[in-house]
Amino acid sequence: MTIQERAEKAADFKSRGACNCCQAVARVFADTVDVSEEDLLKLSAGFAAGMGCMESTCGALVGANMILGLRTNGAGTVKQSRELLAKFREKCGAVTCKDLKGVATGKVLCECDDCVRNAVLSLGEILG
């Protein structure tokens, strides 16, 4: 499956309500890591509406970071995590759910489906 196909599948999971943002991103990479899809869904369940319920990091970005750690076996993940964050911010305009959804400004920077899509695409850029 191409990274674009993974991104569209993740956005579909989110738009249908099959997963929260974090779960949607993690789920589409289940075939690339040594963790079952079921366990990935459990691990990522608490990151709906952004970590801290919109006050903090976008759940889609958290899911991409979880997969990054699994794919790199933790080696060099911190540096790559910074790259992931920068790529995501470039695509979405922010990294916190509150800012992405325009809680303080009333201006939505990026809808959830697009955050999910962009998190997958950003991760794909890092993984190559």
What are the pLDDT digits (tens) for 114-128?
Answer: 999 999 999 999 998
Model-level pTM?
A: 0.95
pLDDT at 20: 95
**Closest listed residue to residue 50, CA positions, set 122, 128, 109:** 109
pLDDT tens figures, 21-32: 999 999 999 999
